[in-house]
Structure 1
Amino acid sequence: MEERSILQVGGSIEKALKGEYSIDVKGVLHEAWRLTNKSRSSINLGLFISLLIGVLVTLLVASYVGGVDVLFQEQQGQQEPQAGALLNILVTIVVYPFLVGVEMMGIFHAVGLQTHVKLIFAFLKRGSWVAICALLSSTMVALGVTMFYLPGIYLAVALSLVLPLVVEKKMSPLKAISLSLQVTRFQWFHLFAIYLVLFIALILCVLPLVLLATTSVALLGGVFTLFALSYLAPMFYNVKGILYREIFGMHLSVSKDASDHFDSTFSA
Structure 2
Amino acid sequence: MNDKVEKEFNVGGNIDTALSGQYELKAANIIKEAWQLTTKNFLSFSPTIVVLIILQIAIFMIALKLQLGDTSILFTLLDGSADSTQIESIIQSVIVANFSYEIISAPLYAGVCLMAMSHATGFKTKTNHIFKGLHFTIPVMLVTLMGLILQGLAGAILPFLSLYISMAFSNSVFLVCEKRMTPMRSLLLSFRAVNKKLLTVAAVYALILVMFFAAALFYGIGFILVLPFFFHVKGIIYRDMFGIRMKVINSGGNGTPPNNNNKQSQVFDA
Q: Give 1:229 deviation, angstroms.
A: 2.0
Which residue number in structure 2 is paired with residue 63 of structure 1?
A: 65
Where 1:167 maps in the other structure, the secondary structure is helix
Q: Give 1:180 deviation, angstroms.
A: 0.7
C-alpha distance in structure 2 between counterparts of 1:254 and 1:171, whole Å: 23
Specify the code of the residue in structure 2 equivalent to 1:8.
N
The answer to whether structure 1 residue 193 and structure 2 residue 195 are counterparts is no
Q: Percent identity?
A: 25
The answer to whether structure 1 residue 94 and structure 2 residue 104 are counterparts is yes
Q: Does the Cα contact within 8 Å between 2:35 and 2:229 map onto a contact in 1?
A: yes
Unmatched 5+ stretches in structure 2: none
Q: Give 1:148 deviation, angstroms.
A: 2.2
Which residue number in structure 2 is paired with residue 160 of structure 1?
A: 170
Which residue number in structure 1 is paired with residue 50 of structure 2?
A: 48
Where 1:264 maps in the other structure, the secondary structure is strand
Q: Deviations over 1:162-203 (max 9, x none)?
A: 111111111111010011111111101100000111111222
Q: Does the Cα contact within 8 Å between 1:47 and 1:102 map onto a contact in 2?
A: yes
Which residue number in structure 1 is paired with residue 212 of structure 2?
A: 202
Match of 2:87 among 78, 84, 88: 78
The answer to whether structure 1 residue 249 and structure 2 residue 243 are counterparts is yes
Q: Does the Cα contact within 8 Å between 2:109 and 2:133 map onto a contact in 1?
A: no
Which residue number in structure 2 is paired with residue 180 of structure 1?
A: 190
C-alpha distance in structure 1 between counterparts of 2:49 and 2:74, whole Å: 23
C-alpha distance in structure 2 between counterparts of 1:191 and 1:32, whole Å: 14
C-alpha distance in structure 2 between counterparts of 1:182 and 1:88, whole Å: 28
Which residue number in structure 2 is paired with residue 215 of structure 1?
A: none
Where 1:11 maps in the other structure, the secondary structure is coil
Taking a change above 3 Å as real, the CA distance of residues 58 and 153 of structure 1, as seen in their structure-2 partners, is closer
Q: Does the Cα contact within 8 Å between 1:62 and 1:70 map onto a contact in 2?
A: no
Give the number of equivalent residue pairs: 251
Taking a change above 3 Å as real, the CA distance of residues 205 and 82 of structure 1, as seen in their structure-2 partners, is closer
Specify the code of the residue in structure 1 equivalent to 2:88.
Q
Which residue number in structure 1 is paired with residue 125 of structure 2?
A: 115
Q: Deviations over 1:89-119 (max 9, x none)?
A: 3212221111111111111010111111111
Which residue number in structure 2 is paired with residue 214 of structure 1?
A: none
Question: Given the two structures, how large is their TM-score scaled by the length of structure 2?
Answer: 0.85
C-alpha distance in structure 2 between counterparts of 1:44 and 1:123, whole Å: 18
Match of 1:266 among 261, 265, 268: 268
Whichever of the two has the greater Rg, that structure is 2
CA RMSD of aligned residues (A): 2.1
Taking a change above 3 Å as real, the CA distance of residues 56 and 149 of structure 1, as seen in their structure-2 partners, is closer
Q: Deviations over 1:2-52 (max 9, x none)?
A: 111101100011221222222111011001111111102343222222222
Greater CA drift, 188-197 or 248-257: 248-257
Specify the code of the residue in structure 1 equivalent to 2:30.
V
Specify the code of the residue in structure 2 equivalent to 1:255.
I
Q: Deviations over 1:54-78 (max 9, x none)?
A: 222233234333222446759x971
Unmatched 5+ stretches in structure 1: 210-221
Which residue number in structure 2 is paired with residue 17 of structure 1?
A: 19
4+ runs of 1 displaced by more than 3 Å? 69-74
Which residue number in structure 2 is paired with residue 213 of structure 1?
A: none
